[in-house]
A and B are shown apart, each in its own frame.
Chain A
């Protein structure tokens, strides 16, 4: 077996039964691993009748063939489930060390079924796989639980939920290596609903290669790319992802005060430069990553990791807050309690606007940094107003009678790019299968950074093709599983060649991206089976009607013509349903029978 380990681990929490099953190699060839494999398994295991927080939902944690190979950024894993926040197919993806360790324990994926009668944790070691009582861990924060379970980055890796997951916060994260997160869409709530506090892995098995010399040569060439590219060799190591803050603000595409403006007058104060100058004390990196974008920071009151760009934005510009220390501390708190920072900050921003408009009885106001920490904590423990905010911005705004004030797509809060200043990004958010998401084919490269080349960010014609290519590419990256930051410098063809040398299965670049299209289309089918339609592929009305500010002044999103072009280019009907010939081309016709 080259690339894959060839085994799935299946744990039924209701019965306590633990079994293994062989990996279906044809499935692996077609869907690769990680997100693709997860989506394919979920298709069979979780139908439309299943409530996301019921025992019938499953939690699939999958690595990919590249995981643990030593290829740049080959540390990642993917968590797939039906989302309690959106009701769509969901995968959330994380770096760190845990994914590499899990694969070295000998498995490609873990499928968790059922609900344990009481809190448990799962231990996977070379000697045994055991479910253990977690009563003493329940209620612990992520650092507390990680320490109690013997977290050791180099040997024993802990993945767990915090209080937010236990309390079924709809945007609870799953954390690993203390501060790395698979965050979006409520994967932590699903884990909490199963009474599963943690999964601890040890393992030192090695991945086998079809042609190791060839693989290492491709890796060597990829190293040249990463070293030569100023984004991966300078900007990310020096400033982390917040390097984007001033760039996006300069474009007039930095969503501000719940997307009421697209330029934040205090962006400089929360930028990557400010973080590096004021609170950065060290860099860190995920396993096998030469980039090292992780920020280890310290404020006058606390120390932790972050903030990433999205977190600095969600607690910063989105909330009208320019207090960098408080933003960093809100990020630390999310890590400790196990919360998605994007949804947490954006939901608070939504609450701020609702309060300012007199639609919500709270003291939250834009710019009131002093309320951030207590609000985050209230969300995680579902205390007072926090109980309502724990449902996410859409359900919050809906409760207040104005769902349109939730800046979300399919109930998932949008990340830190305003579609009015980046037309393609708007199409990406509208069509993303797990709801608004920048990690599903980010147009940042093409529309802002010039990766591979700069295109006009306000151009509408032709944008669909770029978005589709990026979406298919991101599906592959999430299935290999590799980090999208490596993909900034290392083009798809390197990954295709590495995958071929690793597995012995020939993946020309186009064929690898075809697998990405297959994965994307399967996820689309899943959502169609759940009842989603074209009407769900949209943006909040604010973005379609209220003009942007700053250097995108006067712009609105021109979504409809892009969406028409997108469906045509994907080979879907005007209603967004894949045509039979497209399904046949991708080998999905049989799967889709009786669904469409």
Chain B
């Protein structure tokens, strides 16, 4: 039985992700880890319109009937929880960041908020970029060192202690990507305002 407080957390974050254009109608997924259990969005459910029955409970290690209902990316969420100290995972399809991931191996924010919060977001590339073990392992491995990573051409995976926190990294990334776009469109020389800014790409 899902605690009402937990449902409201899923509902609010899911709604915000859709409203912020971080996912399309049925894209993205979110989950939390409670001990040896995972609560994850139902496969095919709309993040912006989650109902209590859209929150599926299943095992972290063991399969049960929940896997028939859970998000396609359950395998990735499980791998992340097993490899990292995360208690929440947010997977989104932020559009400008996806575009940037097609041209670079890391997204290094140039705005203050992005630099302050994220420093650098590595871009991971795998052949089968949806719901595969290869992809799950690559993402989980990258999240051992970073709180948000990007799967090239697909989307972001962010971890946190809470959904709120993982959502923050996701939203901050898309904001940083948008600013990179604007700065590029200006096509003028950037005036660096950050000390040791060269070090961000080594983060």
Nearest CB on B from A121, distance (A): 43
List the B side residues contacting A456 at CB < 8 Å. 5
17 A-B residue pairs with Cβ-Cβ distance under 8 Å, sorted by A, are A217-B202, A225-B116, A446-B162, A452-B165, A453-B164, A459-B3, A462-B3, A462-B32, A465-B34, A466-B87, A510-B143, A510-B144, A565-B35, A566-B35, A568-B35, A569-B35, A569-B36
Nearest CB on B from A243, distance (A): 23
Chain A 195-243 residues near chain B, CB threshold 8 A: 214, 217, 220-221, 224-225, 228
Q: Among the listed A220, A225, A466, A472, which residue makes an inter-chain contact with B195, where contact means beta carbons less than 8 Å apart?
A: A220
Interchain CB contact under 8 A, B161 and A469 = yes
List the B side residues contacting A510 at CB < 8 Å. 83-85, 143-144
List the A side residues contacting B3 at CB < 8 Å. 459-462
| Bound form: Cα–Cα A217–B165 in Å | 24
| Bound form: Cα–Cα A472–B85 in Å | 10
Interchain CB contact under 8 A, B34 and A228 = no
Give me the interface of A with B, judged by CB distance under 8 Å.
214, 217, 220-221, 224-225, 228, 446, 452-453, 455-456, 459-462, 464-466, 469, 472, 492-493, 497, 508-511, 513, 565-566, 568-569
| Bound form: Cα–Cα A492–B116 in Å | 15
List the A side residues contacting B119 at CB < 8 Å. 221
Residue B145 is within 8 A (CB to CB) of chain A in the complex: yes
List the B side residues contacting A214 at CB < 8 Å. 199, 202
Q: Which of B34, B84, B116, B168 has the largest number of chain A CB atoms within 10 A?
A: B34
Query: Smallest CB-CB separation from A211: which chain B residue?
Result: B202
Interchain CB contact under 8 A, A465 and B203 = no
Query: Smallest CB-CB separation from B203: which chain A residue?
Result: A497
List the A side residues contacting B6 at CB < 8 Å. 459, 461-462
| Bound form: Cα–Cα A455–B32 in Å | 13
Interchain CB contact under 8 A, A446 and B35 = no
Identify whether the interface residues of A are mostly helix, strand, loop, or mixed.
helix
Residue B94 is within 8 A (CB to CB) of chain A in the complex: no
Residue B33 is within 8 A (CB to CB) of chain A in the complex: yes
Residue B114 is within 8 A (CB to CB) of chain A in the complex: no
Nearest 10 CB-CB pairings of A with B: A569-B35, A462-B34, A508-B144, A453-B164, A217-B199, A453-B162, A508-B145, A510-B144, A565-B35, A510-B84
Nearest CB on A from B3, distance (A): 5
Residue B91 is within 8 A (CB to CB) of chain A in the complex: no
Nearest CB on A from B39, distance (A): 8
| Bound form: Cα–Cα A446–B83 in Å | 23
Interchain CB contact under 8 A, B33 and A465 = yes
Nearest CB on A from B181, distance (A): 25
**Cβ-Cβ contact count across A and B, 8 Å cutoff:** 76
List the A side residues contacting B164 at CB < 8 Å. 453
List the A side residues contacting B203 at CB < 8 Å. 497
List the B side residues contacting A565 at CB < 8 Å. 34-35
| Bound form: Cα–Cα A520–B29 in Å | 33
Q: How many residues of B contact A (CB 8 A)?
A: 30
Residue B147 is within 8 A (CB to CB) of chain A in the complex: yes
Residue B190 is within 8 A (CB to CB) of chain A in the complex: no
Residue B191 is within 8 A (CB to CB) of chain A in the complex: no
Interchain CB contact under 8 A, B162 and A455 = yes
List the A side residues contacting B144 at CB < 8 Å. 508-511
Q: Which of A214, A465, A469, A565 has the largest number of chain B CB atoms within 10 A?
A: A465
| Bound form: Cα–Cα A508–B85 in Å | 11
Q: Which of B5, B33, B116 has the largest number of chain A CB atoms within 10 A?
A: B5
Residue B160 is within 8 A (CB to CB) of chain A in the complex: yes
| Bound form: Cα–Cα A513–B144 in Å | 10
List the B side residues contacting A569 at CB < 8 Å. 34-36
Quick one: given A452-B165, A461-B3, are A509 and B34 in contact (CB under 8 Å)? Answer: no
Chain B 1-29 residues near chain A, CB threshold 8 A: 3, 5-6
List the A side residues contacting B35 at CB < 8 Å. 462, 464-465, 565-566, 568-569
Interchain CB contact under 8 A, B116 and A493 = no
* New A-B pairs, 11, CB < 8 Å, besides A462-B3, A492-B85: A217-B196, A220-B196, A452-B165, A461-B3, A465-B34, A465-B87, A469-B87, A493-B147, A509-B85, A569-B34, A569-B36
Chain B 148-195 residues near chain A, CB threshold 8 A: 160-162, 164-165, 168, 195
Chain B 73-118 residues near chain A, CB threshold 8 A: 83-85, 87, 116
Nearest CB on A from B119, distance (A): 7
Nearest CB on A from B85, distance (A): 5
List the A side residues contacting B145 at CB < 8 Å. 508-509
Nearest CB on B from A569, distance (A): 3
Interchain CB contact under 8 A, B85 and A513 = yes
| Bound form: Cα–Cα A309–B80 in Å | 38
Query: Smallest CB-CB separation from A224: which chain B residue?
Result: B116
Nearest CB on A from B203, distance (A): 7
List the A side residues contacting B195 at CB < 8 Å. 220
Q: Among the listed A452, A464, A508, A511, which residue makes an inter-chain contact with B34, where contact means beta carbons less than 8 Å apart?
A: A464
| Bound form: Cα–Cα A224–B87 in Å | 26
